[in-house]
Amino acid sequence: MQDYLKGLNEPQFEAVTHIKGPLMIVAGAGSGKTKVLTTRIAHLMANGVDAFNILALTFTNKAAAEMKERIERILGNSEARNLYIGTFHSVFARILRAEAHRIGYPSNFTIYDTDDSRSVLKTVINELNLDDKHYKPNVVHNRISSAKNALVGPAEYATDYYIQQEDMRANRPMIAQIYAAYAARCFKNGAMDFDDLLFKMYELLHNNPESLHKYQHKFKFILIDEYQDTNAVQYQITKLLAAAHENICVVGDDAQSIYSFRGATIENILQFQKDYDDVKVVKLEQNYRSSQSIINVANEVIKNNKGQIPKNLWTENKEGEKITLVRTMTDNDEGKFVADTVQEQKLRNHFFNKDFAILYRTNAQSRAFEESLRRMGIAYRIYGGLSFYQRKEVKDLLAYLRIVVNTRDEEALKRIINYPVRGIGKTTIEKCVIYANEQNISMYDVISRAGEFGFKAGTLEALQNFVTMIRYFQSLLTDKNAYDVAVHVGKHTNLVKELFNDKTTEGLARYENIQELLNSIKEWTESPSNDDGEVGDKSLGSYLQQITLLTDADDDKADSDTVKMMTIHAAKGLEFECVFVGGIEETLFPNAMSINTREELEEERRLFYVAVTRAKQRLWLTYANSRYRFGQLVQNEPSRFLEEMPEAFIDKTYAGGGARNQGFNNMGTAFERMNRGNANDAQNIEKKYGAPPTKKPDARPSYMPVVPPSNKVVEHKPSADFVPSDTS
């Protein structure tokens, strides 16, 4: 027997060595699904299958690279480089380039990122004489994206009764026209957006028998990881590709399906057995990743979900340390606890930074962790999201504050001189820079003496208004603290309002980030002393100085030995020796946005299951009594998920902050709360949207209906590479 087969357990061996015919592996977390997939590819190749004939679809490109590496190690050659392996988006982009001529695209077509797409949309919306304040490009973009991922093209979109009803109800009846114009414009520009990489791939195969035939016979073996998170268009494409040989192997865990809000559906797992005859189904139940305690907790919590494929996840690993449940007073205490614990564990148990992961529900939560880690000098890296102070909206507000304190800060000035838009164009800015250089004065000096430089009347006025505004902010410095100035700036510039009005997921995240920044300034101004214990100067200047020191942290360490921080969504498939999961509080996790239906709540619980099962040895679950959200101190109850954990494997502890008064006993039962929640939610929904229709027009769960009778599903899920990591 080959060496690579020796370590496998029985069902793993069965899955790896099952060569021909459809194969489905449904298995719990850490049971070796990805390992089986990798080993299976190696085994196929060892048995004469040409790497060129294998297509493997992974959740991230990083995962694909790791798989290739492992296969090379197993086989001792570099054949793996010939595999078609990567995310759906990357693999299909490659195929679309080769086949572009068949669908009228140049082979070097441009791929538009989200910003490009929105900017094209804005142009198109204006050309249609529509108001882009009402037809917000990001809102329209989401709508079009959902359509593409449900395989609904512009023509179908315009004629689908339910879709049109939805758009009417949302008072945006012209989206169909925008969609058509946008698609035409992209085509004319020789460009595809992210969703097109899936949508056009489907169209290519569906409309071009030659292409379909070619790729069906090229990809004699198809393997898909994380199958529970594929959506309608991905499902249809792989079904087409696999139709000739039916050598398709999918691996997934229904308990880890966490992208349904983007159209992914575990139905795909159930459907698989109906799509093919003689599907071999393998269950993997032995977990190799985690300690007994961790598995017990994960199992116990996920049991509360009704719709699960029954699995009994067990492990031979040691019971290990108990899971530590940590209550803190505030989110800052939570951050401090985590940083302290990392430090302590490194000293005591010889862990390295890279053995730790900090997971959270929303990106805005990273701030408190970041600050504490920086203070302790612990190297960290944030995945799938910009570091808090790198985020555009945070930088924008900070840029205003910087210019108020020091008008010579040209970078900050350039950043915000025309943001939010105030009619100071590129040419004007360029002129200012030239004059400043000629006269050897600052750009701000040029602007404040704009009258001397012969600007046109309109421009002159805009520049003068800008200066008046900055001077007003400066006048606040003498008797207001940093927080008050920041709030004034946020309000007066309309920066906060602009973000507040953007109701998309991303807009909401950006608004939360600005609130988070304001919160942190507030906390800083209200704390009695600075970090070095000195009674603080609470001026804006003093605040910015300490922030600048934080932002100046050494970034070179990023790739080496660093603590990893990411949202739980981004952590799928990964494992770490030690894991912290933060903010396990009602309204945050489960998120307030996701408790309106049982389906949503169950998805939050699956997310919790994913978080817990990332840990190999140690797991800390933390929650704060209070945290600043949306500019206010909010008191949160501990998450209902915490009550679902078996006491025997939990250590409870309290870390930091004031009085230890709020115990574990005043939470009410989860059941009570859930019922209370459901009743309220139902009422609220009715109040807001009216009573439900007596006869539901369509049973589909989300906002976008899909055309029957095909098994297309709704919304979309781009692969992790394109997912804005904040998913809340």
Q: Which listed option, Mg ion, ligand ATP, none, makes contact with residue 727 (CB within 5 to 8 Å by class)?
A: none
**Residue 33 a catalytic site member:** yes
Is 28 annotated in a binding site? The answer is: yes
Is 29 annotated in a binding site? The answer is: yes
Report the C-alpha gap between 1 and 726 in whole angstroms: 46
CB of 641 to ligand ATP, least distance (A): 18
Q: Which is nearer to ligand ATP, 100 or 571 (CB)?
A: 571
Phi/psi-derived region of residue 423, left when phi > 0, alpha when psi is between -120 and 50, beta in every other case = left
Q: Which listed option, ligand ATP, Mg ion, none, makes contact with residue 253 (CB within 5 to 8 Å by class)?
A: ligand ATP
Report the C-alpha gap between 34 and 399 in whole angstroms: 45
Taking every pair of C-alpha atoms in the chain, what is the biggest distance, in angstroms? Answer: 86
Q: Which is nearer to ligand ATP, 568 or 714 (CB)?
A: 568
Catalytic choice (167, 195, 225, 498): 225
Task: Assess 154 for contact with Mg ion (CB under 5 A).
Answer: no
CB of 472 to ligand ATP, least distance (A): 54
The full DSSP string for 467-527 is HHHHHHHHHHTTT--HHHHHHHHHHHTTHHHHHHH--SHHHHHHHHHHHHHHHHHHHHHHS
Return the amino acid letter for 143. Answer: R
Q: Which listed option, ligand ATP, Mg ion, none, makes contact with residue 156 (CB within 5 to 8 Å by class)?
A: none
Q: Which listed option, Mg ion, ligand ATP, none, makes contact with residue 590 (CB within 5 to 8 Å by class)?
A: none
On the CB side of 104, how many CA atoms lie within 13 Å of its CA? 8
**Residue 614 a catalytic site member:** yes
The count of residues interacting with Mg ion (CB under 5 A) is 3
Q: Which listed option, Mg ion, ligand ATP, none, makes contact with residue 9 (CB within 5 to 8 Å by class)?
A: ligand ATP
CB of 660 to ligand ATP, least distance (A): 36
Is 146 annotated in a binding site? The answer is: no
Interface with ligand ATP by CB under 6 A: which residues? 7-9, 12, 27, 29-35, 253, 256, 288-289, 573, 575
Report the C-alpha gap between 725 and 113 in whole angstroms: 15
Report the C-alpha gap between 396 and 419 in whole angstroms: 8
Cβ neighbours for 48, distance < 8 A, ≥ 6 positions apart: none
Q: Which is nearer to ligand ATP, 35 or 712 (CB)?
A: 35
Catalytic choice (136, 381, 614, 717): 614
CB of 286 to ligand ATP, least distance (A): 8
Phi/psi-derived region of residue 68, left when phi > 0, alpha when psi is between -120 and 50, beta in every other case = alpha
Is 6 annotated in a binding site? The answer is: no
Task: Assess 34 for contact with Mg ion (CB under 5 A).
Answer: yes
Is 31 annotated in a binding site? The answer is: yes
Tell me the C-alpha to C-alpha distance, in Å, between residue 667 and each of 30, 587, 598, 671: 32, 14, 21, 11
Q: Which residue is nearest to ligand ATP (CB)?
A: 32
Q: Which stretch binds Mg ion (CB under 5 A): 30-38, 105-113, 607-615, 650-658?
A: 30-38
**Residue 225 a catalytic site member:** yes
Of the candidates 665, 589, 651, the residue with the CA atom closest to the CA atom of residue 258: 589
CB of 89 to ligand ATP, least distance (A): 20
Return the amino acid letter for 260. Answer: S
CB of 27 to ligand ATP, least distance (A): 6
Q: Which listed option, ligand ATP, Mg ion, none, makes contact with residue 7 (CB within 5 to 8 Å by class)?
A: ligand ATP
CB 61 within 8 A of CB 87: yes
Q: Which residue is nearest to Mg ion (CB)?
A: 34
Is 110 annotated in a binding site? The answer is: no
Catalytic choice (256, 286, 330, 567): 256
Catalytic choice (160, 167, 193, 226): 226
Q: Where are the beta strands (DSSP E) in 4-142?
A: 23-27, 54-57, 84-86, 110-112
Q: Which is nearer to ligand ATP, 43 or 289 (CB)?
A: 289
Report the C-alpha gap between 258 and 255 in whole angstroms: 8
Phi and psi angles of residue 661, each rounded to the nearest 5 degrees, phi first = -95, -35
Q: Which is nearer to Mg ion, 482 or 568 (CB)?
A: 568
Report the C-alpha gap between 487 and 405 in whole angstroms: 15
Catalytic choice (33, 327, 336, 572): 33
**Residue 256 a catalytic site member:** yes
Q: Which is nearer to ligand ATP, 253 or 331 (CB)?
A: 253
Q: Which is nearer to ligand ATP, 35 or 510 (CB)?
A: 35
Is 450 annotated in a binding site? The answer is: no
CB of 292 to Mg ion, least distance (A): 20
Report the C-alpha gap between 81 and 453 in whole angstroms: 61
Q: Which is nearer to ligand ATP, 31 or 591 (CB)?
A: 31
Residue 436: CB atoms within 10 Å: 17
On the CB side of 670, how many CA atoms lie within 13 Å of its CA? 14
CB 283 within 8 A of CB 31: no
CB of 571 to Mg ion, least distance (A): 11
Residue 194: CB atoms within 10 Å: 23
Phi and psi angles of residue 253, each rounded to the nearest 5 degrees, phi first = -135, 110
**DSSP classification of residue 722:** T
CB of 256 to Mg ion, least distance (A): 9
Q: Which is nearer to ligand ATP, 7 or 663 (CB)?
A: 7
Q: Which listed option, Mg ion, ligand ATP, none, makes contact with residue 15 (CB within 5 to 8 Å by class)?
A: none
Q: Which listed option, Mg ion, ligand ATP, none, makes contact with residue 288 (CB within 5 to 8 Å by class)?
A: ligand ATP
CB of 526 to Mg ion, least distance (A): 44
Report the C-alpha gap between 626 and 338 in whole angstroms: 17
Report the C-alpha gap between 698 and 88 in whole angstroms: 30
What would the x/- binding string for Mg ion be over residues 549 to 578, using CB under 5 A? ------------------------x-----
Is 631 annotated in a binding site? The answer is: no
**Residue 355 a catalytic site member:** no
**Residue 557 a catalytic site member:** no
On the CB side of 70, how many CA atoms lie within 13 Å of its CA? 18
How many helices and strands, by DSSP H and E, does the chain display? 29, 18
Residue whose structure tokens are 């598995």? 295
Catalytic choice (12, 34, 234, 362): 34
Q: Which is nearer to ligand ATP, 112 or 580 (CB)?
A: 580
Residue 364: CB atoms within 10 Å: 27
Residues that bind Mg ion (CB under 5 A): 33-34, 573
Annotated binding site for ATP: 27-34
Please give the positions annotated as active site. Answer: 33-34, 225-226, 256, 614
